[in-house]
A and B are shown apart, each in its own frame.
Chain A
Amino acid sequence: MVVRVVRIARGAARHCDAEVRLVGLLALVVLALGLFGFTIRAVVSHRLEATDDLLARQGRALATAQELRAALSQADAAAAAEVFAPVELLVDRGAPSAQQRRRYDGIKSDVSFEMSVAASARSVLDLRRLDPALCPDDTDARLVPGAVDPGADLGRATDGGGPPVTAGHDQSGGLEPPWSDTSGPQVPGPGTAAAPAGAAGATPGAVVADGARAAGSGDGPAAAPAGESCPLDLLAQEIPVYNGMVERARANDRVELSVGEAYLRAASTMMRAEILPATEVLVARYADAVDRAYRHATGARGEWAVVVTAAVALGALVGAQVLLVRRTNRLVNPGLLIATAAVLAAVTWTAVAFGTQQSRLDAGRDAGYRPMTLLARSKTLALEARVDENLSLAALGNGLRFDEHFAWVARGLGFDSSGERLPPEPVTRRGSLVVALDAPAGGGTPTDLEADLRAWLRIRQSVVRLLASSPDSVVAAAHGPGDAGIRGDPRSSDAFGEAVTRTLGPGTTAFTRFLGTLDVAVDTARGRFDTDVHQAGAALRGLRLAGPALVLAAIIAAVAGIWPRLREYL
């Protein structure tokens, strides 16, 4: 085809004057070079933008969403431990005062519930700032009286405000009573709360959900599921309600009213059934965004555009030289030669810059992004397990479900309940922590992570054993086979107290150390990701100016090269 085009062009040229032919040639060369310059500029800009976006927005948003999830999990764990608040200082009952003071100071310095809730609120704000597009700013739709008023949904009678939202609105986040997990947040997204929301169909709480709704005066038919509401709105509404519920629990606990425990259970249900799934939606969303930014930053289409236009530009230059050689018998045209060199330099620079960018991005993914997400998941799982541990102990033998869930979560980390690594199974997913530890690129992951986790799991295992082997314990039946020969052995009459003591004392210490190490590891991984992505962007930054500049130089050189030949005809 090229041959035919050349033939036609030549046929046309034969009818033209020589100067017209030269002008045409010059225009062709300039056009090809211009196209190349334009493409290089566009592609590099696009990639640089995507890389910067990855660094400044998507990566940060993902990290923030993960922090949000971790903060809320931590709040859940702190709230679950609230049951033991009356005894946390009695752990060292017989110890000397100095030791008791140390323990008291330690408890005070623990990451508190308030700090976790405050951190989560801050993360919600940060996300709102980082991603304004996530929740459209149509305040008209959201700020219907009662729509954002938890009282309207949670306790119909408690708010003195107007009637609940009309049917057209979606209850703005659908705050159900916390103990009814029937309609959950229903935020669409990969891997959301399908489990809790779906499994709850048969719970008695279902009645409440419908009940409370129909009870509200002028409440119209049950509103549409809260699918349209954005997770940030949901979180912004539910976190304060959750916080209030835990505070009610604490106030009741402090005056020895057992309804406090019911409040804690309700709060934990709300956290696990509604709030945490909403954060999972956010994490999944920003993980997708990172993936998209990666693809934009390294898109093959841009590469091909550069290759094709570069080929055309070089072809035009070489063709012009060949033609000039045939027409003028001068072997070398310095202008065109310089132009060719400039184009080749631009191509080489592009190739090197793209290569550097891609390898930095790959490194950022393998040594930063993957460990960061895996470790963040591990942290959430560990906190979930900690909640199970506390709830199981507080359930006084009725906590088999929590123990099963604990084992399930520990499995998600890649460990069994006694702290040993599970054998890798080829089909199912592996443990998040195990994958993070085993990753060849994750050399920065501290190795004592595993030891810390093991220490904590071992302490818990010993507590479980203690309870299972002590007849007076309130928890034993849940763990032991029942009346299997525990006979005549010395029985402490305070095995349960010992179990609580062990969980609160060394158990808390080990778990806190594990979390601390994990936090450091997450921060390290995130730092690597940021550094690598930053370097990837830096590799392109020079090219964005230099590429077009080189091409411009090539155009000037080419014009300067052909101009004297053209002048011969003028």
Chain B
Amino acid sequence: MTSGTGAGDRRRSARAWALGAGALTLTLILVLAACGTARSPLPIEAGPLPASPAPAEPDGPHGPGAVGGPAGPGSGAVGATRADGTCRQDGRPVRASEPPLAPLPPPGHMPAGSRLRSIAQDRGYLRIGIVTDAPPAGLMNWRTLRLEGFDVGIARAVAAAIFGSTDVDSHIQFRAVTTTDREDLLRSNMVDMLVATMTITCERKRQVRFSSVYYEATLRLLVRAGSGIDSLTALAGRPVCTAAGGTADEKLERVRPPETPRVVTLPRIADCLVALQYGDVDAIVGDDVLLAGLAAQDPYTTVLGPGAFGAALAAHGGLDEPYGIAMPITGDAASDDAFVSFVNGVLRQIMVDGTWSRLYDEWLRPGLRAQGHPPLADLDRDST
């Protein structure tokens, strides 16, 4: 601002003062009226949430150790099975289990002090893991809100042997499982048993106890009918889908390089059908039961015969997928043995009394179109 430097010139000083005062007033008016730039950022709370600890996607990654942990099937593959087909762990064949309990205690009268007793009397229900989206093994029927399928029937039979056959479902706590979280559920003791299309393998035997075989499944290929794909050789370099955490993945790794298909693993076998229908994969590898269930849902597909895998893979029962009921290893070996033995007894009983055949005819036969025979041989071998 101008300041009156020339003391003698009053008028000039007065003029400068007037000027300064005018400008000052003006500034004040404007600054008071509008104090600076207004901002309008999005409130923090209106922004997106930070990353959730739990993934939002239905098929997002699962919890820890979901896909093949350090103890998963893949890494344990080497050395778990001997050349002669026995498990390195205990020197027994893969299918070997405890001898079936006979005679079975009558339902509702479990032996005192046993785990069965605490389940039957103290808790009042059995916790069973089941697949709910893989017909004909296990499926939720949304019309009736009931679970149904071959595995579910087996599970109900076991529960009926403990609680009696009336109102079995009120004594079962079903829990849906996917192929990836099966072992974890048993390890964390979230379920008493898994009847969930689980193949008995030596690797898995390190983590869980298996009953004897309740169904002999085999590996098969599902392809689009008329696609010209008639064997695994034709799939060299092509995407082939399988469920994560299953055994097919590892078996396909044995195929030698020039013929190797590209293995794509998805969380559930049903997701593989979606991928096949969108043309993202050219084949689905899985157990015959499950593939029959998928083929029943898509008339454009067909299940290839066992010859499609070639002799090398099929040799020495390489395609066998013996299903067993999995039970946890609790640390109390005697109790585990008794429990497994009881379950084997139940399995033997339903195979002998026709329940097994009834379940087979109801659920598996329409898809497999073949007569089924209960795998009694293994049970009898165990009991001798």
- Chain A residues near B (Cβ < 8 Å): 2-3, 83-84, 86-87, 151, 154-158, 177, 179, 181, 190-192, 194-196, 198-200, 202-205, 207-208, 211-212, 214-215, 248, 252-253, 256-259, 261-263, 265-266, 268-269, 272-273, 280, 283-284, 287-288, 290-291, 294-295, 297-300, 303, 306-307, 310-311, 314-315, 318-319, 322, 326, 347-348, 350-352, 354-355, 357-358, 361-362, 365, 369-370, 373-374, 376-377, 381, 384, 388, 391, 395-398, 400-402, 404-405, 408-409, 412, 429-432, 435-436, 471-478, 482-483, 486-488, 491-494, 496-497, 500
Contact = CB atoms under 8 A, between A and B. Distances in A.
Contact of A471 (B41, B42, B124): B124
A259 B244 CA distance: 17
Given A155-B279, A318-B22, A204 B58 contact: no
B125 A472 contact: yes
Contacts, number: 345
Contact of A207 (B36, B42, B238, B263): B263
B267 A358 contact: no
Given A258-B135, A404-B54, A483-B127, A179 B275 contact: yes
Interface string B253-296: 00000000011111110110111011111100000000000100
A291 B57 contact: no
Contacts of A261: 133, 270
Contact of B39 (A194, A291, A391): A291
Contact of B59 (A179, A355, A473): A179
Interface in B291-319: 294, 297-298
B173 A471 contact: yes
Interface residues of B, number: 103
Contacts of B140: 258, 396, 474
B123 A196 contact: no
B70 to A, nearest CB: 14
A486 B217 CA distance: 37
Contacts of B36: 298, 300
B19 interface: yes
A348 B275 CA distance: 71
Interface stretch (B91-99, B175-183, B331-339, B341-349): B175-183
Interface in B1-52: 1-2, 5, 11, 15-16, 18-19, 22-23, 26-27, 29-52
Contacts of B264: 204, 207-208, 211
The CB with the most chain A CB atoms within 10 A, among B139, B178, B263, B297, is that of: B297
A158 B15 contact: no
A154 B48 contact: no
A134 to B, nearest CB: 18
A196 B59 CA distance: 11
A280 B49 CA distance: 11
Main secondary structure of the interface of A (DSSP, over half): helix
Given A315-B19, A474-B176, A295 B47 contact: no
Interface stretch (B79-87, B163-171, B320-328, B351-359): B163-171
B52 A376 contact: no
B172 A472 contact: yes
A318 B142 CA distance: 89
Contacts of B145: 87, 494, 496-497, 500
A151 B278 CA distance: 8
B274 A256 contact: no
A556 B33 CA distance: 29
Interface of B: 1-2, 5, 11, 15-16, 18-19, 22-23, 26-27, 29-63, 67, 122-125, 127, 132-135, 139-143, 145, 147, 167, 169-178, 181, 189-191, 238-239, 244, 262-268, 270-271, 273-275, 277-282, 294, 297-298
Nearest to B279: A157
28 contacts: A204-B244, A207-B264, A212-B280, A261-B270, A262-B274, A269-B58, A287-B41, A297-B38, A303-B31, A314-B23, A315-B22, A315-B23, A318-B22, A319-B15, A351-B30, A357-B34, A358-B34, A365-B40, A373-B42, A395-B176, A397-B175, A429-B45, A430-B45, A432-B43, A471-B173, A482-B190, A493-B167, A493-B169
B55 A471 contact: no
Given A2-B1, A291-B41, A396-B175, 7 more contacts: A191-B47, A259-B297, A307-B27, A315-B23, A395-B176, A477-B173, A482-B190
Contacts of B45: 374, 377, 429-432, 435-436
A284 B47 contact: yes
A266 B59 contact: yes
A179 B53 contact: no
Contacts of B133: 258, 261-262
Contacts of B274: 179, 259, 262-263, 266
A190 B137 CA distance: 46
B15 to A, nearest CB: 5
A322 B15 contact: yes
A565 B143 CA distance: 102
Contacts of B32: 351, 355
Nearest to B119: A483
A311 B27 contact: yes
